[in-house]
Amino acid sequence: MLVYLLKRLGLMVFVLWGVTLAAFLISHMLPADPAAAVLGNNVRQEQIEQFRHANGLDRPLPVQYGLYMQALAHGDLGKSLRTQSSITADLKQFFPATLEITLVAVVFAVLIGLPLGIVAALKHGRWPDLLARIFALLGGATPVYWLAILALNLFHERLGWLPGPGRLDSYSLPPPIRTGLVTVDALLAGDQAVFVDALRHLILPGLVLGAYSAALLTRMTRSALLEVLSQDYIRTARAKGMGQARVIGKHAMRNAALPILTVLGSLFGGLLTGAVLTETIFSWPGIGGYATTSAVSLDFPAVMGVTLVAGLAYSLVNLLVDLAYAFFDPRISYS
């Protein structure tokens, strides 16, 4: 396992290098001038030239990439062209908000999609299966922005059950920043009121962001479990008098877990880097909005920083999923 882990970590370095190279080349192939985009239209050519020189944009592309990789080797992602602030500091500020909402979305997806998929497989061809498939169809086909607006209008505006956009109410004082996760920081500070407030603000965006994932997880769980339930060892276990709960928990779900884990890992990585619409509608200060603003303003260093973080997140999630395979299937060995 240790040898396999070291090999994967070594390959991850090459993957991330490829991500930086691809992001750099694509960014600089765009037929646009980032200096003009940042400074605006009402500027003189001399100001544009000064800006390009100050940020190294007038140097040859190989030199720019070499300087970027040299800084990256020291943990420096560079400086934003738009805000002139450290990209590392910006990502430290915005990434925890996206991570928090993503974790809540994944929890919702598991709590909703997994039981629905199990029930649909066990009641195959009957009305619970039909309802689960309808949910999976609607969840996968409903646009995220429409679902977000509908949820805000119903549960916040009309019923008043849940708070509106933002991470906290306007009268709540944010806890001291330790992790960047407001709920965790509130618990560490012993502020129960802020913790409850932050948790309530997470419900709506978490449900909206997790709706598609729950639908996809329902379909995958149903499909994987139906395939396992048709195997001979399941019929043998039932013939021996083993209860339904034990058959499902000990045998069926353990063998159906591998494709479910694969989908869950992909969903987590996708949610972590693709929550742009949800964050925009709920005024969530996450990495999605930061990436969108940076791309629109042609802030190449910021876009490359976000791309690198996204690649790292996907690589780590895939590594954790691969390691989890051995827990569910002892026949899998790593060498």
CA distance 125 to 129: 6
Per-residue pLDDT, averaged over 253-272, amounts to 82
Domain coordinates in residue numbering, the chain: 2-73, 87-328
Q: How would DSSP label each residue in 228-283? A: HHTSHHHHHHHHTT--HHHIIIIIIHHHHHHHHHHHHHHHHHHHHH--HHHHHHTT
Residue type, 220: M
Are the CB atoms for 96 and 179 separated by under 8 Å? yes
CA distance 323 to 312: 17
The second-level CATH assignment, the architecture, of 87-328 is Orthogonal Bundle (1.10)
Nearest-10 crossing angle of helices 2-29, 61-73: 150
**Banded pLDDT at 274 (limits 50, 70, 90):** low
**Banded pLDDT at 79 (limits 50, 70, 90):** confident
Which residue matches tokens 């989908």?
A: 263
CA distance 290 to 178: 21
Q: Is 70 exceeded by the pLDDT of residue 160?
A: yes
**Banded pLDDT at 82 (limits 50, 70, 90):** confident
Summary mean pLDDT of the chain: 85
pLDDT score at 197: 92
Instruction: List, for residues 283-308, the tens digit of each pLDDT value.
Output: 888 888 888 888 888 888 888 888 88
Q: Is 0.95 surpassed by the pTM of this model?
A: no
CA distance 260 to 219: 10
Rounded to the nearest angstrom, the gap between the alpha carbon of residue 120 and the centroid of all alpha carbons in its chain is 27
Rg of the chain over Cα atoms, rounded to whole angstroms, equals 24
**Banded pLDDT at 131 (limits 50, 70, 90):** very high
Q: Is 70 exceeded by the pLDDT of residue 334?
A: no
Backbone angles phi, psi at 36, to 5 degrees: -65, -35
